[in-house]
A and B are shown apart, each in its own frame.
Chain A
């Protein structure tokens, strides 16, 4: 079943410039949710809901964490929600990440693509490395959360103000050279995903990517949220909300 309901916000933190971290009490959703899925949140005064990834799932306490960046007027409105207020969401949506239990994973997050990497890396704990890239130190998020989960974090910044200077793809290559993982997870800008997918393919490593597209229904009925994928050697339009947001990187037609 899908649920649509209003759920109380029980914690809110500003974790970086323009980035917010909400904890929502929603036991019915938390009990069903898996890493990689997302929710559709209503922003007061806006017609369409905003898709936001599930950052963390706490099944014991029945909560979800949602981490988002203010990108426009809708997310700005969401950032005004406070503890005690309700959040109207449809959840949990989409297909989550494939999990290889007991194996080694590298999770690669670019900017606001980092949040979904937390819940999946947690399933691997010390068997996971989380590489995250941000433009600058002030935008870096979730590094302590990775550490707390036993995951090895590797922070990259474009300008070198924190962690390693450079791109996540360079850090990924270096990590693979050290120890080849069984699976790579990635979420972030299309160019980054394309780079990660290419590295995975060169090294013969399975790779799961989480894609973004503008959405309306969020459940697979309206067909607006397309991405190009390959099935039986033929390019088709799949729908990010229902067929994804997680895809095997080999299925995605990155183009160019």
Chain B
């Protein structure tokens, strides 16, 4: 049996498959389908300093092979995460990635310091949410600000720090280099691509927020390209996501340069997607004579 374990910035994962932030809540719902201990880790719903209501509905629009969402970071705030969600998650036998989003540089640092000593395995700093008007995407689209917010979090904590990048930029490699230079231990990408759907009967956008983030298989080739470019531009590990729905997709993403993968919208179509991908990776390794899955990371041979 192949060794599926991977190491990202010093954090050991039993396998490289991690449900993506916002697509798995805190695991409570999916635990009613399978034990969470099957998973490499869980990236929890984006957490902010204070409770957030999120945007008005409808918050979802279907697209060819994917969907738009405009949730707007609805969550109970970091204190509720620490007191209610985290104690439960810690008993589940999987790695916990705390996904955080501050509305200012200072608040991002404060959020990170509140996680010190909590037992989360990793922080994923979201500088890329397209659904919040304050901060959010603005952090992720400007190299200087992306660097500043990374540094504020780095200074506040020793927890391994992964910065999640926005694809809605001219040069994602420049942002990646800036967060690397400011102390990020890893980067994860991609967050959703900004999109829009219009109901032609009512001539109104389907989303009450007018625009929202595109994810699902539709974005996969864009994500593979960006992961490949970023993996070639930085020395820190890259965690790849965007449209992954099968073990073959995960292999492709890893060959592009991803040390681990996250699975998001595919879970909505098939709640078992993450465990099917894990089983599929094992089978793929056996069939292809791969003893250690991590050996395939970045092995694409470009023309």
Q: Which residues in A have some Cβ–Cβ distance to B below 8 Å? A: 1-2, 4, 42, 46-49, 74, 90, 213-227, 236-237, 242
Contact = CB atoms under 8 A, between A and B. Distances in A.
A46 B24 CA distance: 21
A223 B271 contact: no
Contact of A221 (B23, B62, B216): B23
Per DSSP, are chain A's interface residues mostly helix, strand or loop, or mixed?
A: loop
B61 A214 contact: yes
A4 B33 contact: yes
Contacts of B71: 222-224
Nearest to B266: A47
Contacts of B271: 2, 4, 90, 217, 219
A219 B57 contact: no
Nearest to A42: B269
Contacts of A2: 29, 32-33, 271
A46 B56 CA distance: 25
Interface in B30-87: 30, 32-33, 45, 53-54, 56-67, 69, 71, 74
B135 interface: no
Contacts of B63: 47
Contacts of B60: 48, 214-216, 222, 224-225
Interface in B220-260: none
B270 interface: yes
B213 to A, nearest CB: 11
- The B contact surface, by secondary structure, is loop
Contacts of A222: 22-23, 25, 60, 69, 71, 268
Contacts, number: 100
Interface string B261-280: 00001011111100000000
Interface string B16-28: 0000001111001
A242 B60 CA distance: 16
A46 to B, nearest CB: 7
Nearest to B58: A214
B67 A226 contact: no
A221 B57 contact: no
Contacts of B61: 214
A35 B272 CA distance: 26
Contacts of B23: 217, 221-222
Given A216-B67, A223-B54, A226-B59, A48 B25 contact: no
B30 A221 contact: yes
Q: Which of A1, A4, A214, A226 has the most CB of B within 10 A?
A: A226
A214 B69 CA distance: 11
Contact of B65 (A47, A215, A227): A47
Given A46-B62, A47-B67, A219-B30, A225 B57 contact: yes
